[in-house]
């Protein structure tokens, strides 16, 4: 892990994760490219309708405040959880759709 990502992880652990965990969520930093941090929201935050608002008001705000020289923007990478994939496959198998 790069020194920049270590610094970002420290801010996430101290300032962001407690708020997300209070709602059953989690965050994973994927990569930093040209001032844009790409993250995945996990747990209850994954696919939440408020994910964009959470990103802007908590994640991006805290990182830009703590590390303005590193983080200019935070982009949420949308993914489908393994659990949701398995549920979809089961539905297709069970209902022959």
Strand-pairing partners, residue 75, are 38
Q: In terms of residue numbers, what domain contains 52?
A: 3-95
Considering its fold, how many domains does the chain have in total?
A: 1
Contact 28, 40 (CB under 8 A): yes
pLDDT exceeds cutoff 70 at 97: no
Summarize pLDDT for 74-91 with one digit per residue, the tens: 999 876 667 777 877 888
CATH code for position 37: 3.30.300.130
Q: Residue 26 phi/psi, 5° resolution? A: -155, 165
**pLDDT (tens digit per residue) in 7-41:** 999 999 999 999 999 989 999 999 999 999 999 99
Does position 51 have pLDDT exceeding 90, yes or no? no
CA proximity to 6, closest of 68, 67, 79, 95: 67
Decide if 39 contacts 79 (C-beta within 8 A): no
With beta carbons less than 8 A apart as the criterion, state whether 28 and 42 touch.
yes
């Amino acid at each position: 892990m790069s020194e920049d990502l270590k610094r970002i992880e420290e801010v996430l652990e101290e300032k962001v994760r407690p708020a997300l965990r209070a709602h059953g969520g989690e965050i994973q930093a994927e990569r930093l490219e040209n001032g844009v941090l790409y993250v995945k929201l996990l747990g209850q935050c994954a696919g939440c309708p408020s994910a964009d608002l959470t990103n802007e008001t908590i994640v991006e705000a805290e990182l830009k405040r703590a590390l303005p020289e590193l983080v200019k923007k935070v982009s949420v990478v949308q993914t489908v959880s393994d659990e949701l994939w398995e549920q979809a496959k089961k539905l297709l198998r069970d209902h022959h759709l």
